[in-house]
Structure 1
Amino acid sequence: MQKISEFKGLNGNIIAFKDEVADAEKITFIGVPGVCTPFAELFAYAVRDKKSCFITLTDISSARLLEMTPQGMQLTGPADPHADVVALLGGLSMPKANVDVNELKSLIDQVLKDNGKLIGLCYMDMFKEAGWDELIDFDCIINGTLLGHVYK
């Protein structure tokens, strides 16, 4: 893969995602519970005019709707996970998540509609560090780099 654009900050990260899913009707996020869920909620909020759901790890039966509530985007009831965009969240590639790449690829094959788009959403080159950029046929990886400071 080659770099096609750059962005700065969280807003730039969200805009890059919105651009990639502009033509989508439905997005299925796949990630680690707790770690990835808030990111899925954030990105789903940014595209709240589209249907979204979240699958925990590789358990297709865990698919839950991401719906707008008075508290923001929230996981609600069971969902049909089939979508024209699947967004893998970087936490899946962390060793502690213990995700089998072949199981994940099988899930993607079940969920992603024909001619759909597979997007990786990560920070700090997580997919590249785990070697997943070579193991999974991403259409696009949106990678953010965080630089932080603590002031007192």
Structure 2
Amino acid sequence: MDKKTGIVGLTGSFREAVADLPEGSKVVFTGSAAVCTPFIELLSYSIRDQGFEMVFIPNADKGEARKIKKQENIGMSVVDEAADPRNPDVVVVMGGLAMPKFGCPAEDVTAMIKEISDEDPLIIGVCFMGIFKRSGWDEKIHFNTIIDTTMETCVEEF
């Protein structure tokens, strides 16, 4: 287990997890709509220079797949342009899907991965505060890697 801190710890760990993928690989993210989207855009920004095709599947619903593209003077964004999620080299499962209020059953995610994959893609879980372990998803989904980040908030009022 390797421990890192801060945003750079999260993005750097993700970048390392996909470092062996060749240029042109397809990276498919799946997460809760709205809740996971900004984190997916942040993670995709960390690999923007790798020449990957990137796709977002909201709520594990492959019919809603959208492209992730670089937007000048903005960064990486999920755009309202349909994408083909089939044959991913890696599927990134975001922890928001494991949250009762925002997610779906783990079985929906594994079914979606099987539907879009001819071969076994690399499966990377990205979550906060141990949600995959707390929800039992670490035993239901065959992750190759789980990147689990802990957040701490301090509010100072003046």
Q: Which bin holds the TM-score, normalised by the shorter protein?
A: over 0.9
Hey, what does 1:94 align to over in structure 2?
99
The one-letter code matched in structure 2 to 1:63 is A
**2:147 aligned with 1:150:** no
Hey, what does 1:78 align to over in structure 2?
82
Distance in 2 of aligned mates of 1:138 and 1:113: 17
Moved over 3 A (4+): none
**2:13 aligned with 1:10:** no
Q: Is the 8 A contact 1:86 1:112 kept in 2?
A: no
TM-score using structure 2 length: 0.89
Distance in 2 of aligned mates of 1:36 and 1:107: 17
- 1:83-106 CA distance string (max 9 Å, x none): 101000010000012412222111
Aligned-pair identity (%): 36
Aligned pairs, number: 149
Aligned to 2:14, the other structure's residue is in SS state: helix
Change over 3 Å in CA distance of 1:65–1:133 after alignment to 2: same
Structure 1 stretches lacking a partner, 5+ long: none
Decide which of 129, 135, 142 is 2:140's aligned counterpart.
135
TM-score using structure 1 length: 0.92
- 1:107-143 CA distance string (max 9 Å, x none): 0112345242100000100111111111111111000
Aligned to 2:15, the other structure's residue is in SS state: helix
The one-letter code matched in structure 1 to 2:78 is L
CA RMSD of aligned residues (A): 1.3
Structure 2 stretches lacking a partner, 5+ long: none
